[in-house]
Structure 1
C-alpha cells in the first residue's frame, strides 16, 4: 500500500486533476500484472431488480466519479492527469439464475475483466438473478482509478440521481478533471513542481533514514503443493452480528477494529506461515478522503507488528496500543519511513527502474481493511434494499508461481450496516490455503476461539 502525503490536487472542474503517486503506482502495477487485483462492491437482494433500474444506475455511473481516463503528459517529468472517460464497459446481465452454492463463484467470476485506464474502461457493472428469486449485483473497479472511498462516493451519488437525467456537470463527474487551457505550458509548470517535490522528498528521506517499519516474515519455500500453473485464491464471505462482535472485543479489552486485526493475524498464524511468538506485519488502510476530494486514490496505510502465539488469542490491548503508535508516527514526516518521502521520485523514475522494483516487490502478508458503517449508505436501489452489501479487494486468478513470488498472505475486509457485519476473507497463499475448505477450517477455528458465530455465504 503506497502512502500519499502530497497536497491534494485542485478540485477538478476548475482546474487540472493530476495523478497522485498512489494512482501512478497502481498504473505501473496494472501495466506489469494486468488486473491482478481489483475492488468489488457487491449487493445481494432477496427480490428481483428491474433491468431498467440497473440500466439507469449504469448510466449515472458512466457520467460520475468513476468515469475517468488517464491523459499522459508529453513533457518529461510532468504528471499525467484525469479527464472524463470516452467509453465504458456495457452493463452485464447473466440470464442463467445462480444457485445459493454458486454465489461466491459468480461474484469471483466478475473479476475476469480487462480494464484500460487510458480509455476509461475502469469499472464494470453486472447482475444475475438467483434461483431463490433474488438478484446479485457486482461493481468491479480498477485500483488505478479508484480506491474504496472513491467507489462509495461514486455509487452514493449515482443512487441519489437515479430519477434524474445523467449530467456530468452536476453530479460527482464534475470532479474528474478538465484539460488545461494551455497544455504545453501547464505541463512545463508541473514538471518544474515535480522536480522541486523530488528535491524536498530526498531531503526528507535523508532526515528520516533512521525510521523503520515493521519487518515482513520471509515466506517458507516448503511445503509446495502440486497445484495447477494457474490458481484462484480461496475466498469466503461471512456474516456476523455486530453486537456479538463488539461484545467479544470488549470482553478482551479491545475495539471493533482491533478484533478485525486480531482475526487476520490469528488466521495468518494458523496457516503455518510463521511459528510461535512470531511478529506478524499487519497493514491497515486508512482513508484520507475529504469532501469533494477529486483524487482517485486517497488512502494511506498504517503498518503495525502483532505478536502471534500458538494456541492463544492475539492480545487486543497490545493491538490497540500498536495502532495508536503507528497513527501518531505517520502524522509526523520526521517519523515517517524514508521510502514514503520518495514518492515524487517514484513518479519520474524511468519505467525500467519501476518495472524492476515492481517485480521484486512483496504483497502484504496480512491486510485488514475496516470500512466501518458504509453498507447502509449504498444499500438502497430506488426503494429496494439489499439483504447484504459486500466490499472487498479481489485477488484475481493468476500464475501460481506469481503468488509464491510476491509472498501474498491473507486479506480481510470488514463493513457493517449497523446491525450485521459482512466480512470478506481471502487466503492467497496457494500452499497454505489451497481451497475454500482449508480456509474455512482455519477461519472457523479462529472464530471459535473468540466465541463468534459466523454465517458463511
Structure 2
C-alpha cells in the first residue's frame, strides 16, 4: 500500500505550515459518574496502535509529495489529579485546545481526563486536522473503543536512504505532471471567478456581493481564540422538527446555520447566506486523512424556520452537480507542492477572500455508538468541535469573520457545536451560547449546553 499523501492532505499540511494556522479537532465526552481509568487506559493504548498512530514525513525534494510514516514516540495519557467544578469544564477544554501538537514531529494528538468536584468527569481528545477529518476520527475512536488496531504498519521515517527517497519522489512528481497541467487550468478558472465577485476558490452559488471589509481597529491585531459553544438537543425532537418543516436533518442544520448567521448580520445585501457543506467521500479501507469535498447552497434564513423544502431541494441539486461537474478546487491541489512557502501562504488568503455571508455546516450523521465509550461504557454526552489555531483579529477582519456549525447524533442526543467571530461585534463564548439558544428557539427547539 502506498504511503504517499493524498493531494488534499498535502495541501492542508502545506497551507497550515505556510500560514502558521493549523486546525484541530476536539472530541468531548461528559460522564455523570467517575470515569473507569483502566478502561480509558485501554482505549488510549488502542489509539496508540490505531489508524491515528502515524505522522507526516516531508519529501527531501522541495516540490516532492510527503509520506505517512510510523511515529517516533507515542502520546501520553493525561490524568488530571486536581478535580475542578463542572462549570469550569469548558475553560479546561479551551486549555486542552492549546496543547502543542505537531503532525510532523509528534505528538499529533492528546487524550486527557478531568474529574469534577461535584461528581462525574470529562474527557478531551484533541488531534491535528492534518491527521483526520471528522468522519475518519469517529471511525478511529470506535475502533479503539472496540479494541481494534490498525492493520497497516507504516514504514519508519528512516526506512528509505536519501538517494532512494530522491529517486522515488522524483518519479512521483513525474507521474503527477498531467494532474499539474489540469491544476493550472483550474487555477486560471478560479482566478477569473474570484475577479467576477465570488471571492472564493470553492465554487459557490451566485449571491449579491457582501459589504466592504470593515477597518481593523488601530492596535487591535493580536492572536485570538474564537468563541465556541456546544448545545445538545434530543435526537427525536430534532428529527421530528426537520420532518415537520418538510426537510431533513442536513436541511435543518443548514437552515440553523443560516439563521445563526442572520442574528449577527452575516448576510449578503439581499439577506441571503451561503452555506458550505463538506461531502464525505471516505471509502472502505481509505487511508486518506481528509476524504472530503465541498458543496454550497444559498439559503434564505428568514424562511428557514417555517419551511425547509427549498433548502432540501437546493442541497440535493448541489450534490447532483457536484457528482457531474469536475471539482476545480480539488484539481488545484496538484500544484500546491510546487509553490514556495511564502507564495502558498498568500495564495491561501487570496483564495478564501472576503466572505462575510459564507458559513460552514458539517453533518457527521449518526456517530458509531462505540465512539461514545472511551472507558468502555456509554458517556452521557459526546460532541466534536473544530479549533482554529493561530488566528488573529487581522485575519478575521480581512476574511469577514468566520462561522462553522458541526452536528452529529450520539446516544439519543444531537450535538450542535459552533465557532463564530464577527468583526465589529463583541465576541464571546457567553454571547455565542445565547445566540445558539435563541436560534434553537426560532426553530421551536430546546437544548442543554455543554
Q: The TM-score by the shorter chain falls in which range?
A: 0.7 to 0.9
Contact 1:35 1:113 in 2 (8 A): no
Describe how 1:40-59 pairs up with structure 2 within 5 A.
40-59=26-45
Provide the rounded CA distance (Å) in 1 between the counterparts of 2:45 and 2:81: 21
Aligned with residue 77 of structure 2, among 75, 78, 91: 91
Aligned with residue 188 of structure 1, among 170, 175, 188: 170
Pick closer, same or farther for the CA change 1:218–1:54 going to 2, 3 Å: farther
For the pair 1:158 / 2:140, whether they are aligned, the reply is no
Provide the rounded CA distance (Å) in 2 between the counterparts of 1:200 and 1:384: 50
Task: Report the Cα offset of residue 394 of structure 1.
Answer: 1.8
For the pair 1:331 / 2:317, whether they are aligned, the reply is no
Provide the rounded CA distance (Å) in 1 between the counterparts of 2:304 and 2:219: 31
Aligned with residue 107 of structure 1, among 72, 90, 93: 93
Contact 1:48 1:135 in 2 (8 A): yes
Contact 2:21 2:391 in 1 (8 A): no
For the residue of structure 2 that corresponds to 1:155, the secondary structure is helix
Task: Report the Cα offset of residue 212 of structure 1.
Answer: 5.0
Describe how 1:373-392 pairs up with structure 2 within 5 A.
373-374=366-367, 376-381=369-374, 383-392=376-385
For the pair 1:289 / 2:275, whether they are aligned, the reply is no
**Alignment correspondent of 1:8:** none
* Structure 2: unaligned runs, 5 residues or longer: 194-201
Pick closer, same or farther for the CA change 1:75–1:231 going to 2, 3 Å: closer
Provide the rounded CA distance (Å) in 1 between the counterparts of 2:423 and 2:441: 24
Aligned with residue 346 of structure 2, among 331, 356, 381: 356
Contact 2:440 2:446 in 1 (8 A): yes
Pick closer, same or farther for the CA change 1:323–1:262 going to 2, 3 Å: same
Provide the rounded CA distance (Å) in 1 between the counterparts of 2:253 and 2:362: 8
Describe how 1:158-307 pairs up with structure 2 within 5 A.
158-161=144-147, 171-172=149-150, 174=152, 176=154, 182-202=164-184, 212-214=203-205, 217-218=210-211, 220-221=213-214, 229-274=222-267, 277-307=270-300
Task: Report the Cα offset of residue 438 of structure 1.
Answer: 2.3
Task: Report the Cα offset of residue 367 of structure 1.
Answer: 0.8
Describe how 1:14-29 pairs up with structure 2 within 5 A.
15-29=1-15
Task: Report the Cα offset of residue 389 of structure 1.
Answer: 0.7
Aligned with residue 117 of structure 1, among 91, 95, 103: 103
Task: Report the Cα offset of residue 186 of structure 1.
Answer: 2.4
For the pair 1:317 / 2:309, whether they are aligned, the reply is yes
Contact 1:411 1:425 in 2 (8 A): yes
TM-score normalized with structure 2 length: 0.86
Provide the rounded CA distance (Å) in 1 between the counterparts of 2:348 and 2:61: 24
Pick closer, same or farther for the CA change 1:437–1:301 going to 2, 3 Å: same
Pick closer, same or farther for the CA change 1:294–1:36 going to 2, 3 Å: closer
Pick closer, same or farther for the CA change 1:442–1:171 going to 2, 3 Å: closer
For the residue of structure 1 that corresponds to 2:272, the secondary structure is strand
Provide the rounded CA distance (Å) in 1 between the counterparts of 2:67 and 2:8: 13
Contact 1:307 1:314 in 2 (8 A): no
Provide the rounded CA distance (Å) in 1 between the counterparts of 2:258 and 2:431: 17
Pick closer, same or farther for the CA change 1:34–1:128 going to 2, 3 Å: farther
TM-score normalized with structure 1 length: 0.85
Provide the rounded CA distance (Å) in 2 between the counterparts of 1:304 and 1:199: 29
Contact 2:109 2:127 in 1 (8 A): yes
Aligned with residue 124 of structure 2, among 138, 143, 146: 138
For the pair 1:394 / 2:380, whether they are aligned, the reply is no
Provide the rounded CA distance (Å) in 2 between the counterparts of 1:313 and 1:63: 46
**Alignment correspondent of 1:6:** none
Provide the rounded CA distance (Å) in 1 between the counterparts of 2:268 and 2:362: 24
Deviations for 1:77-97, whole angstroms, at most 9, x for unmatched residues?
431110111123322222222
CA-based RMSD of the aligned residues comes to 2.9
For the residue of structure 1 that corresponds to 2:273, the secondary structure is strand
Task: Report the Cα offset of residue 180 of structure 1.
Answer: 6.6
